[in-house]
Structure 1
Amino acid sequence: MNPTLLLAVASLSLATPATSAFAAQNARIVAENGQASPTAAAPTLGYADTVGRVLQSTLIVDATIRSAVRIKGAEAATVPTNRARFYVEADVVALIRGPSAVAPRLGWLADVPLDARGKAPKLQKMRVIAFGRTVANRADQIQLVTPESQIAWNSGDEAQIRRVVRDVLAPDAPPAITGVGNAFHVPGTLPGEGETQVFLQTASGDPVSLLVLRRPGEQRRWAVALGEIVDEAAGPPPRDTLLWYRLACGLPRTLPASAVANEEPARAALATEDYAFVVSALGRCGSGA
């Protein structure tokens, strides 16, 4: 059996000293600013797609493919016509997410896209990032979280993935949204003035709420609170952050009628309008957002 290779989650690389120095500098910039350095390529994965795969993965590796064997017949019967299935063995370059120890060479099944002529890419020696889960009793095997969760390595993707991993594992990471609790609207003293508050349900039970402010002569404003106290000055979360993802991808598109069941019809209508305003401002989850 291959000896176990110990890898540092944030910084281990098998590159040359000069490359390692650049990688360390880039990692420092990413850690400090939460974004890729100016020299990083643009990510090929959208932010929401990256978060979705990170959340499903217990192991994410940067690896170089040593061998790839195409799988045909019954074992590839479910593969789309524009893809081909391969059994891949790859040498681990760096561990992006996972336990402190991982086998130096891993194998997995991957469905890779064909080119315009229907030809499969040359995978040998390709540097890739794989999102996977460990396989019981097989330290040298992983299962990709989806058949397409092997992507060509890209400095922008790596930086974004590392940022998402750090945000997901942070002690103060925003919880997953599982539904909407109660919502109510309180009119102000002036015509057109009022506030809507929406209490959200979360997987952890931690409180999350939305506040929408209406002021005469002003555009509606909204804020999100992670806690019991709502700070209207906090504002909405920036796009492509974990809190934005939790809301954009976790909130139902319309306010459930049960959330305003105890409200007067006029106030319920305003609360519903304000909720729709928040959902519209967030945009859709995923690459089509």
Structure 2
Amino acid sequence: MTHTRSLNTFCVAIAGGFALACSSPALAQPAAPIGVGPTYADLADLADPAELVIRAEVRRQARLKPERAPNVRPGYGRLYIEARTVSLIAGSAPIGESIRYLVDVPLDADGDPPKLKKQQVVLFARARGRPGEIQLIAPTAQLRWSEPLEARLRPILAELAAPDAPPSVTGVREILSMRGNLAGESETQMFLETEGEGPVSVTVVRRPNMAPVWGVSWTEIVDQAARPPARNTLAWYRIACFLPRELPSEANIARDPASRSQAEEDFAFVRQSLGPCRRNRS
């Protein structure tokens, strides 16, 4: 798993002699509404920056007083949790049988947090401080565990850990559309910005009386035979969830109006073909 964002942390001293427990506001997201589970993008958002993905059983919870829980979003409370490690789903850092962490949870209509004791949860975290202390990668980076959830999560973790995992896309470096010899024939090449400077290019080919075709290449070679990524895969997520909504004007390096217009049309075509990147943790 790779880190795709810079995280600013906050720490709260826990009474009773425990060391600092920390969390991070940078990826703060609410839990999904009741009855609405996390999407592929939700799970990838959580798994990508996590050093540890832990299945745990809550043993004890205590709500922090508001003055000791800064930056909690309205309608949420911060809990100090002691839990038993059930299994390490992903990660190599050593963790003990007992873990401690902070998590923000939605409050009910009476302003009370849910009772989590004996519930099993999935934690997206990194090791922090003394043995047994972990830091969630976001204040709400805890999901209720279930077999279907873990079954959906494991393929994402496997893709993230693969040596040839697609790099994180951060934007469009440049795009150029070139007209062919026949009317209605063109090829558009789009080169994406990535973390770590891994090569990613998108090619759109149009031929007379044929539907446009496009594909993604994850190597230095621009490949006309490349195909679009399958939905709900890491390759799809990298592009569908991080391409800008509109093509930046400065990235369009064609000079003539027709070529610039074709590049914009092909960018919109790729965006539409990818489909929406839905998230329930907004």
Does TM, scored on the shorter chain, surpass 0.5? Answer: yes
- In the alignment, the residues of structure 2 paired with residue 71 and residue 201 of structure 1 have an alpha-carbon distance, to the nearest angstrom, of 42
Aligned partner of 2:251 in structure 1 is 259
Separation in structure 1 between the aligned mates of residue 36 and residue 157 of structure 2, nearest angstrom: 15
Q: So what's the TM-score if we normalise by structure 2? A: 0.81
2:269 to 267, 272, 277: 277
Find the counterpart in structure 1 of residue 58 from structure 2. Answer: 65
Counterpart residue number, 1:128: 121
- For residues 217 and 253 of structure 2, what CA distance do their matches in structure 1 show? 23
Match of 1:181 in 2: 173
Matched residues, percent identical? Answer: 42
1:95 aligns with 2:80: no
Note the C-alpha offset of 1:172: 0.5
Q: Give per-residue Cα distances to partners, 1:107-137, cap 9 Å, x unaligned.
A: 011112234554422211010011112113x
Q: CA deviation at 1:43?
A: 8.8
Does the CA contact (< 8 Å) of 2:126 and 2:134 recur in 1? yes
More helix by share: 1
Match of 2:37 among 33, 36, 44: 44
1:240–1:250 Cα change, 3 Å: same
Is the Cα contact below 8 Å between 2:93 and 2:127 reproduced in 1?
no
Q: CA deviation at 1:77?
A: 4.8
1:237 CA drift (Å): 0.5
* Match among 121, 143, 159 for residue 151 of structure 1: 143
1:278 counterpart letter in structure 2 = V
Describe the SS at the equivalent of 1:252: coil
1:221 aligns with 2:213: yes
| Correspondent of 1:190 among 175, 182, 193 | 182
Question: 1:268 aligns to what?
Answer: 260
Q: Who is 2:152 aligned against? A: 160
Q: How many angstroms does 1:67 deviate by?
A: 0.7
**1:78 aligns with one of 71, 81, 85:** 71
Change (3 A) 1:262 1:189: closer
Query: Which deviates more, 82-91 or 167-176?
Result: 82-91
1:216 shift after superposition: 2.0
- Give the Cα–Cα distance (whole angstroms) in 1 for the partners of residues 223 and 142 of structure 2: 41
Measured against aligned partners, the alpha-carbon deviations of 1:16-73 in whole angstroms (never above 9, x if no partner) come to: xxxxxxxxxxxxxxxxxxxxxxxxxx99211111111112211110000111112123
Structure 1 residues 100 and 58: alpha-carbon distance in aligned structure 2, compared to 1, 3 A threshold: closer
The two structures have a TM-score, normalised by structure 1, of 0.79
The residue type equivalent to 2:175 in the other structure is A
The 2-side partners of 1:111 and 1:87 are apart by 9
